[in-house]
């Protein structure tokens, strides 16, 4: 039996209705200020379609631009994207070359949006010179009217970030003429926080991981101490606005205690 055009259109109409209903139900005061996203599942998405891995990475990059549009529409001010970990650097040279090029093109597209500010998180020395240079240039750009701030975690590792923060703290203390014993006796959580890659920014209220995996993989290990976590089965390229709205609805229904 051949389905009519009207019957094929019905699921999309229902989907759009449900999406609008979810969006209307969100309280603007319950929307997180800062969201961290582990954009996981690009390679598995490509494998489902017998497509090359690079196609999965490109689909994931396209989804990032779409996702940031959703965030701007909802008034979310800070987004941290886990793009490439230090562990990912062990992948094949061919895959990394393709992925670096895709990331560079994504940065160019972000640069075209005058309302987005970008901050690089990670170890630039692990990246190709052209990509490190683009990140540096984009980070230096200051929007006239910032609608959203995006942290790009590329060549990032959570343990490395903490080590880098402590190292910078010790160098700063040495330059100020303080002994290591003085530093040890007065060291506080805030002292280390001041040297993290996200210094001066609010900690993430919500961390989302796609692809069904339920682990942090080193993402924002320090900053996420009191974050809420949401694990979504959808692979990142297939992550829909309705999936995002469900995550925000789930977040809004939680009672944040911050250890109390």
**Active-site residues: which are they?**
40, 88
**DSSP annotation string for 30-66:** GS-SEEEEE---HHHHHHHTT--HHHHHHHHHHHHHH
**DSSP annotation string for 118-178:** EEEES-GGGS-HHHHHHHHHHHH---SS-SEEEEEEEEE-HHHHHHHHHHHHHHHHHHTT-
Q: Record the tokens describing residue 116, joined without a space.
A: 């987005």
- Count Cβ atoms below 10 Å from residue 75 Cβ, excluding itself: 11
- Rounded-to-integer distance, Cα 89 and Cα 222, Å: 22
- Rounded-to-integer distance, Cα 179 and Cα 182, Å: 5
Q: Record the tokens describing residue 53, joined without a space.
A: 């891995």
Q: Record the tokens describing residue 52, joined without a space.
A: 């090359």
Q: How many CA atoms lie within 13 A of 85 on its CB side?
A: 15
Question: Which residues lie below 8 Å from residue 122, measured CB to CB, with a gap of 6+?
Answer: 84, 86, 153, 154, 155, 156, 157, 197
Q: Record the tokens describing residue 130, joined without a space.
A: 């052209």
């Amino acid at each position: 039996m051949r389905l009519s055009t009207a019957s094929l259109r019905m699921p999309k109409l229902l989907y759009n209705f449900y999406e609008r209903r979810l969006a209307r139900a969100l309280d603007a005061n319950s929307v997180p200020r800062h969201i961290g996203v582990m954009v996981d599942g690009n390679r598995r998405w490509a494998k489902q379609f017998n497509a090359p891995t690079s196609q999965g990475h490109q689909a994931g990059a396209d989804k990032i631009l779409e996702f940031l549009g959703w965030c701007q529409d909802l008034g979310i001010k800070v987004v941290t994207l886990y793009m490439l970990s230090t562990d990912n650097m062990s992948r094949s040279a061919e895959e990394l070359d393709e992925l670096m090029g895709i990331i560079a093109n994504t940065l160019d597209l972000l640069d075209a949006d005058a309302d987005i500010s970008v901050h690089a998180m990670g170890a630039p020395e692990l990246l190709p010179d052209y990509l490190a240079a683009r990140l540096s240039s984009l980070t230096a750009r200051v929007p006239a009217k910032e609608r959203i701030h995006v942290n790009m975690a590329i060549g990032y590792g959570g343990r490395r970030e903490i080590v880098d923060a402590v190292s910078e703290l010790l160098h700063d203390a040495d330059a100020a003429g303080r002994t290591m014993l003085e530093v040890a006796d007065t060291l506080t959580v805030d002292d280390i926080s001041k040297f993290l890659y996200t210094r001066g920014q609010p900690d993430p209220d919500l961390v989302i991981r796609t692809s069904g995996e339920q682990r942090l993989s080193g993402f924002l290990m320090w900053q996420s101490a009191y974050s809420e976590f949401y694990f979504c089965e959808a692979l990142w390229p297939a992550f829909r606005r309705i999936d995002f709205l469900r995550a925000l609805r789930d977040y809004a229904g939680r009672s944040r205690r911050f250890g109390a």
